[in-house]
Amino acid sequence: MQLVYPPVCSGCGKMVGRPAGLCTECWSTVRFIERPYCEITGMPFDHDRGDGYVSPEAIANPPSYAKARAAVFHDGVARKIVHGLKYSDRADLATMMAEWMIRAGRDVIDDSDVIIAVPLHRGRLFARRYNQSAELARTLARHCGKPFLPGVMRRIRATRQQVGLGLKARQDNVRGAFQTVPEQVSRVAGLKVLLVDDVLTTGSTVEAATRSLLRAGASRVNVLTFARVASPGEETLYA
C-alpha cells in the first residue's frame, strides 16, 4: 500500500518516512508550547516567572477547570493539521496529534481518572461523520491506559460556529449547550476528568463543558487540547 500511496508530509505533501508525519521543514515551523506558562491556564509567559506561577488573568477570572494544557499554537502547519482532522476526513492524523498532546499534558493526564471528549451536536456530527475531539480522546486513552467515556456528555443545543466570535459572543453561544446524560452521571461522580478538545481559543467551550461535568459530580476537570490560539485581539484567551 505504501508503494501505491506513499506517506506524505501532513503539512506540505512532500514524501516522508512515516504516515501522518512532517517533513523537516514543516517540523521546524511548528511552535510547541513550552514552560514557562501559567500553571492554571497553560498560557505561555514572555519570560520565566518561576515554577507554579499563576497569571493575573487566572487570579482575577479563575476558570472552572483546574488546569489546561495544549501542545502547539494554532497557526501555520499546526492549523493545517487541525483542519485536516476536522474537515478533511484525516482521522489518521489523530495518532500524531495525540502523541504531541501526551508530551505537553503529562501532568494533567496523570491527574485524571477518565477521559471525555467535547461532544458535537448530532446535526454537526451527521455532517462531519465523526467527532474530531472524540478521535483524539480515544487515541489518548489507548496510549495512556485511561478509560475513555463516550456518550457521557452531549451537546443538547445546536450552536453557531465559534470562528470569528469574540469572547462574550462565544460565552453566550455555548451557555447551556452541554448536558451530562443523567443515566451516565455515576460514571463521573467523584472522579477527576480529562476533557479533550482540538483547539482552545477563548476557553468558552471547555468552560461550559466543565461546568456540566462539575454539576454531575466530577471532583475536578482538567483540559487538554492539541492547539491553542495565541494572537492579539478577539482571539486571545482573555479577549
Please give the full DSSP string across 37-52, using - where no structure is assigned.
B-TTT-PBPSS---TT
Give pTM, 2 decimals: 0.88
| CA–CA distance, 33 with 101 (Å, rounded to integer) | 10
What pLDDT does 237 receive?
34
Element (H, E) at 69: strand 67-73
| Strand pairing report for 67-73 and 220-228 | parallel
Residue written as grid cell 502547539: 72
Quickly count helices (H) and strands (E) in the chain: 9, 6
d(CA 199, CA 128): 17
Radius of gyration in angstroms for the set of CA atoms belonging to the chain, rounded to a whole number: 17
- C-alpha cell read off for 40: 492554571
Q: Is a pLDDT exceeding 80 seen at residue 212?
A: yes
pLDDT of res. 82 = 96
Contact between 149 and 116 under an 8 Å Cβ cutoff? The reply is yes
pLDDT in tens, 46-85: 877 767 789 998 999 999 999 999 999 999 999 999 999 9
Tens-place pLDDT, residues 115-147: 999 998 887 777 788 999 999 999 999 999 999
pLDDT tens-digit readout, 37-56? 999 999 998 877 767 789 99
The residue written with cell numbers 462531519 in the block is 128
